[in-house]
A and B are shown apart, each in its own frame.
Chain A
């Protein structure tokens, strides 16, 4: 199986979120960046497991600038065979997905895996867009994936339950919890990653469809009202008459 895993750079989950340039840009100052957890823990690790059990080749792909190379090396250290970075600013999900689709079209992958969403923009967009761009099937929110020949069996989350489906490769699957378990790169992996190929290729010409104009922080919460643990009648009364939620 030739597998393409899409990875995105995301701020570490404990990062302080702030904005600069008149609230139009995320403030990267002092922020530690990681491989987006869904891409790393679920998509990449499952791809490696498939390669280990049935053979194959795992390429990771990222749309971004030179500052993304650190997280790309991390993904290589976990075990991917090679990396491709499409050298461009990730303008919006459509732009990113169309770049990846253009690359994948020329390189015939059997399977394209993405995380279910990024933890910074939470869009859940790129996987479906790549599939549509390549005119191949898309399965969202896969929590298990088994492969037999060219048939993919996927457990996926649907509205109000889970479903097991079958689809023929090539296909795009967005990966969620359950797919695999996080792997910590070992020293050998980290050393090997230094010499694995990281091919930087130019972007194709595509117009973005959306832009983030500005950001704001949600309004401050008013101070918590402390309720006597002996007096739950008071809490119920407040939820009813003050908060009006019951």
Chain B
């Protein structure tokens, strides 16, 4: 039996449906969540292949160790040998704890199904290579990188069952939470518009935000731009920032240093806008525009508006 953990902090994400789709390709699937997601939303997980969804409403999710105990208990009472997470910030930190508590080998950031030898691909060296991981234990934990396979909605809604596990108390007390409204979280975004030092100053980001808005994209930036405070730190992508792999990455006024590329070279399609035809980013790009961002971006925005209207 395969168990998929559904993180409840921001509604059910597309990445969770991807995890259920992935799990379904490995065997029979049940899902487990906690917190206050509505039963209708949880039942919808059935459409992606889960036969039932369990939910423990007494576990808030603030203490990831408490979540770990909840999952371990449900796994052991349901004969689960594989647990699948979506590799978001929540799954990323719960999966290692569960690995210890279940003594189950962990594949962190999986990008493929197991091959004939049971090996699973993961990105290593910040996306510069792919490693094939073999799990040596009988139980397994797989944390699936978002955007690694398309979610497949093939079935119908399933039953939702409330459970009360012995997960114990939360040892972490939340004092405050800040969630920027209406923004697309960068690691999950399918389209990303990013800009670098070539933009000269924070006052010039208006056209970049316009571009993101027209596309429905998230915004990102290079490290120096976050370091000087032109943009917030959570937008910093690269080897020492967030690693992303959207369908489309548009890089404006970014040179394409190796540390920057390390965080974005998993993107399906890369567009680069740069005045310097020798900028290293062009080597990693699918489409390149050699030109001044201050002329090219407004022009691109107009072209996109025309396209969206047609």
Contact B129–A218 (Cβ < 8 Å) = yes
Known A13-B258, A94-B105; contact A161-B93, beta-carbon cutoff 8 A: no
Distance in angstroms between the alpha carbons of A170 and B134 in the assembled complex: 33
In the complex formed, the residue of B with least CB distance to A94 is: B99
| Residues in B neighbouring A137, C-beta threshold 8 A | 63, 65, 171-172
Distance in angstroms between the alpha carbons of A14 and B238 in the assembled complex: 13
Contact A229–B291 (Cβ < 8 Å) = yes
| Residues in B neighbouring A165, C-beta threshold 8 A | 62, 172-175
Say yes or no: is A191 at the interface (Cβ < 8 Å to chain B): no
**Interface size, B (range):** 35 or more
The 9 closest A-B pairs by CB, nearest first: A229-B291, A209-B105, A161-B179, A128-B96, A140-B93, A132-B100, A232-B303, A132-B97, A245-B248
Say yes or no: is A131 at the interface (Cβ < 8 Å to chain B): yes
Say yes or no: is B201 at the interface (Cβ < 8 Å to chain A): no
Chain A 226-243 near chain B by CB (<8 Å), digits 1 or 0: 110110110111111001
In the complex formed, the residue of B with least CB distance to A121 is: B124
Say yes or no: is B239 at the interface (Cβ < 8 Å to chain A): yes
Known A94-B105, A246-B248; contact A224-B240, beta-carbon cutoff 8 A: no
Distance in angstroms between the alpha carbons of A245 and B105 in the assembled complex: 36
Known A166-B175, A216-B129, A224-B287; contact A160-B9, beta-carbon cutoff 8 A: yes
| Residues in B neighbouring A98, C-beta threshold 8 A | 100
| Residues in A neighbouring B101, C-beta threshold 8 A | 132
Say yes or no: is A87 at the interface (Cβ < 8 Å to chain B): no
Contact A141–B89 (Cβ < 8 Å) = yes
In the complex formed, the residue of A with least CB distance to B94 is: A128
Say yes or no: is B285 at the interface (Cβ < 8 Å to chain A): yes
A-B contact pairs, 20 of them (CB 8 A): A13-B259, A97-B100, A120-B125, A122-B108, A122-B125, A124-B93, A126-B96, A129-B96, A132-B96, A164-B174, A165-B173, A174-B93, A209-B136, A213-B117, A215-B131, A218-B128, A224-B283, A233-B307, A239-B287, A246-B215
